[in-house]
């Protein structure tokens, strides 16, 4: 099973947003050394917590700073943009890192309705055009002809190249699963977004309705889960608390920067809130690396996922790096395995 990373460029209280973006690039370099297969970045807008607003720009920086790891978007929210312009952007990215670029596409706004309208005045119309936009985008990316009679049939996306970005459809409901199956594309489900709600159903629907294509003869799927590992259960729980607090307030419509574990634990919570905090932990993958790896592998088997992408939030950047290192060692990934052996010997 392939193991990858999703980073959301999460704002931390007291840390400049520019540092958060630079931390994403540094994490990509580190995860490449550990042996992870892909490094994906997300797109959110007008969000005080998640400040990665332009995945295509961040991907260019990551592609230049790495050598082997695949670099991708999770995703580009296609209703905001012209498919032709997205094709041009990703043709340029493929020129920077030939054969290493993934284009994950989403239909959700990645924002509220007002922000979506600010990004694209036709925001209310574009989601319904998502399947057609995916089709056109795939043609422009690969240099294949658009459908006969298409009004933009004579337009080409450049720069041309010998490789083509790998297109994925992303989703947190079963809609994306149906689009991916129809076009014969890989599909990634955001398990962490809704604690797995509809996840097994969406994955099953994708496999059952998958139409083989020349580029993808067999269905290929991934889940994105939240995971945080540490040397002890207590340490993992401690560093997970800021994320749990974020979820508590997010569910109330408040999007806040990540606070320190001390601040998160010192806050006063009602009994109902305490129960919700406990639920968030149970739904995530938090604990010692071997235990977390076993749970991730079990979930992958249960829903027949070929890949797992790991998203990890922590107030301390060193804690995030250590979590990814420990998990890489538990899964036996290249340098992560070697670093894990070295740490155990000390």
d(CA 138, CA 101): 14
**238 Cβ contact partners less than 8 Å away, ≥ 6 residues apart:** 230, 261, 265
Domain contains 246: no
* Model pLDDT, residue 213: 86
**Token pair of 135, please?**
């089709």
Q: Tell me if 315 sits within 8 A of 261, measured CB to CB.
A: yes
Q: Which residues pair with residue 285 across a beta bridge? A: 227
Considering its fold, how many domains does the chain have in total?
1
Which tokens belong to 84?
Answer: 């032709």
pLDDT on residue 344: 43
Burial of 150 (0-12, 13-18, 19+ CB in 10 A): middle
Domain membership of residue 280 (yes or no) is no
| pLDDT recorded at residue 98 | 98
Closest CA to 71 of 88, 52, 93: 93
| Calculated CA dihedral for residues 126, 127, 129, 135, nearest 10 degrees | 110
Q: According to the model, what pLDDT value does residue 301 have?
A: 97
Please report whether residue 20 resides in a domain: yes
Q: Assess if residue 252 is contained within a domain.
A: no
Mean pLDDT, contiguous 10-residue spans, the chain (346 residues): 96 97 98 98 95 97 98 95 97 98 91 88 83 97 96 97 97 95 97 91 97 92 98 98 96 93 96 95 95 97 97 98 98 68 46
- CATH number, position 301: 3.20.20.30
Tell me if 309 is assigned to some domain: yes
Residue 281 lies in a domain: no
Q: What are the CB-based long-range contacts (under 8 Å, 24+) for 244-248?
A: 244/277, 244/280, 244/281, 245/277, 246/49, 246/313, 247/276, 247/280, 248/273, 248/276, 248/277, 248/280
Q: Which residues contact 64 (CB under 8 A, 6 or more apart)?
A: 96, 97
pTM of this structure:
0.94
Range of 160's domain? 2-233+288-345
Considering the domain boundaries, does residue 276 fall inside one? no
Residue 247 lies in a domain: no
């Amino acid at each position: 099973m392939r193991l990858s990373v999703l980073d959301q460029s999460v704002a931390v209280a007291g840390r400049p947003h520019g540092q958060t973006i630079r931390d994403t690039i540094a994490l990509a370099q580190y995860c490449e050394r550990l042996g992870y297969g892909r490094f994906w970045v997300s797109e959110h807008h007008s969000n005080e917590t998640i400040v990665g607003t332009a995945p295509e720009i961040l991907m260019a920086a990551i592609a230049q700073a790495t050598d082997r790891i695949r670099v991708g978007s999770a995703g580009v929210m296609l209703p905001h943009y012209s498919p032709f312009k997205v094709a041009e952007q990703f043709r340029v990215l493929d020129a920077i890192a030939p054969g290493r670029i993934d284009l994950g596409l989403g239909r959700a706004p990645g924002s509220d309705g007002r922000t979506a309208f600010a990004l694209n005045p036709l925001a209310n119309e574009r989601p319904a055009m998502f399947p057609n936009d995916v089709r056109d985008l795939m043609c422009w990316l690969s240099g294949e002809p658009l459908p006969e009679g298409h009004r933009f049939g004579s337009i080409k996306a450049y720069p041309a190249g010998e490789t083509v970005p790998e297109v994925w459809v992303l989703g947190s409901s079963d809609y994306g699963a149906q689009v991916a199956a129809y076009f014969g594309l890989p599909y990634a489900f955001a398990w962490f977004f809704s604690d797995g709600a509809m996840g097994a159903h969406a994955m099953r629907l994708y496999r059952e309705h998958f139409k083989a294509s020349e580029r993808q003869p067999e269905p290929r799927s991934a889940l994105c889960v939240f995971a945080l590992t540490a040397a002890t259960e207590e340490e993992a729980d401690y560093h997970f608390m800021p994320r749990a607090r974020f979820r508590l307030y997010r569910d109330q419509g408040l999007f806040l920067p990540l606070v320190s574990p001390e601040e998160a634990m010192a806050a006063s919570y009602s009994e109902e809130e305490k129960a919700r905090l406990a639920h968030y932990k149970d739904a995530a993958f938090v604990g010692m690396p071997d235990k977390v790896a076993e749970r991730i592998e079990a979930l992958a088997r249960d829903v027949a996922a070929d890949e797992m992408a790991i998203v990890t939030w922590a107030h301390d950047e060193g804690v995030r790096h250590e979590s990814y290192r420990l998990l890489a060692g538990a899964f036996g990934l290249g340098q992560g395995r070697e670093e894990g052996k070295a740490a155990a010997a000390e």
